[in-house]
A and B are shown apart, each in its own frame.
Chain A
Amino acid sequence: MATIVFYVLAVLALFGTYLCVTRSNPVHAILYLVNVLFAVALMYYLLGAPLVAAWEVIVYAGAVMVLFVFIIMMLELTPDQEMTRVGWLRWGPTVLLVLVLFCALVLMVAVDPETSKGIVDTYVSPKAFGYSLFTRYPLAVQIISFHLFIAAIGAYYLGRGGGSRKHSGKEEEE
């Protein structure tokens, strides 16, 4: 049963990503991406990571995507017509690169017997997860918290218009 659900979710994620990449309206693309994120969160849950699944919904689908929608609406983006007049010169190298990379993946999967092993049923409880996070990687947690702090300072600096010499930065408040 869980196997069928997993494959259904995989098809949903792939199809949603395809729609997200090909739509010309940015808001539609973001909404398809939210669907993809929900599907991926359920795949995390089926792979035995309930806490990561919850954070995927809260952080990605909740915070990051809302930030994207907020910025798109603030900038008043119109649907771009670039996909209709995109030429073969721009598609060609991309398609070639993607095909080569996909061939490399297929070769790797075919040659390496390690990758055909089945995924066993695992379940990591949030308690075990948190214990492992704060006893084995305390330095990484510190570094990432500093990283977030510095990113917040940088976003504040850029958003205030402090980096712009041409602008006073007073007329545009976020």
Chain B
Amino acid sequence: MNIPFNHLLVIAFLLFLMGLGSILVRRNVIRVLIGVEIMLNAAGLVLVGSSALWSRVDGQLFAVFLMAIEAAEVALALALVIYLRRRKGTLNINAFNEMRG
């Protein structure tokens, strides 16, 4: 296999930009979370690719750390989505604009 590293960078960056656009344009909390997933996935792709570029294992280790942290984030975020839906009755992100506890 012979791939220049910049091709991998461009692929991962395009994935990242689509996730970013999804976060900025969408107003549904679930769609925003899906955008975060896409962005984290692109970051993991760069980590594994750089691990292969320099023939070191550290990039893969960080990709696994990223996966674990992301799983924790999704568990908390989805619990928060259920809580907000119960409290406000909507999933529109513009409705959650007050920070009173």
State A172–B11 Cα separation when bound (angstroms).
Answer: 43
A31-55: CB near B (< 8 Å → 1, else 0) gives 0010011001001101111011001
Task: Tell whether, in the assembled complex, residue B4 and residue A117 are in contact, meaning their CB atoms are under 8 Å apart.
Answer: yes
- 13 A-B contact pairs sorted by A residue (CB < 8 Å): A13-B15, A17-B38, A20-B38, A21-B22, A26-B34, A49-B52, A68-B33, A68-B34, A75-B85, A115-B4, A122-B52, A129-B60, A158-B80
List residues of chain A with CB within 8 A of the CB of B17: 98, 101-102
In the assembled complex, the Cα of A36 lies from the Cα of B39 at a distance in Å of 12
**Which positions 13-31 of chain B face chain A at CB distance < 8 Å?**
13-15, 17-22, 24-28, 30-31
Least CB distance from A59 to B in Å reads: 5
Contact in complex: B34, A33 (CB < 8 Å) = yes
Known: A18-B18, A80-B28, A119-B53. A2 touches B79 (CB 8 A): no
- 8 new A-B contacts, CB < 8 A, other than A20-B34, A44-B45, A117-B4, are A2-B1, A52-B44, A71-B81, A77-B30, A90-B25, A94-B21, A105-B13, A154-B76
Q: Are B76 and A155 in contact, with the CB atoms below 8 A? A: yes
Question: Interface majority SS on B: helix, strand, loop or mixed?
Answer: helix
Decide if the interface of chain A is mainly helix, strand, loop or mixed: helix
A67 CB to closest chain B CB (Å) equals 6
Q: How far is the CB of A120 from chain B (nearest CB, A)?
A: 6
Number of interface residues of A (CB under 8 A): 86
Contacting residue for A47 out of B35, B48, B80, CB 8 A: B48
Q: Which residues of A contact B26 (CB under 8 A)?
A: 82
**Contact yes or no, B79 A147, CB < 8 A:** no
- Contact status B82-A97, CB under 8 Å: no
Tell me how many residues of B have a C-beta within 8 Å of chain A. 68
Residues of A within 8 A of B31 (CB): 26, 29, 80
Say yes or no for B69: interface residue by CB 8 A criterion.
yes
Measured in the bound complex, the distance between the Cα atoms of B34 and A113 in whole Å is 34
- Cα of A17 to Cα of B65 in the assembled complex, Å: 23
Neighbouring A residues of B74 by C-beta, 8 Å: 64, 67-68
B33-63 contact mask (Cβ, 8 Å, vs A): 1 or 0: 1110110010011001101110101101101
CB < 8 Å neighbour of A82 from B11, B28, B41:
B28
CA distance A148 to B64 in the complex (A): 13
Q: Name which residue of chain A comes closest to B59, CB basis.
A: A49
Which A-B residue pairs are the 6 nearest by beta carbons?
A151-B72, A2-B1, A155-B79, A158-B79, A115-B6, A94-B24
Q: Contacts A90-B25, A128-B57 hold; do A119 and B52 have CB atoms under 8 A apart? A: yes
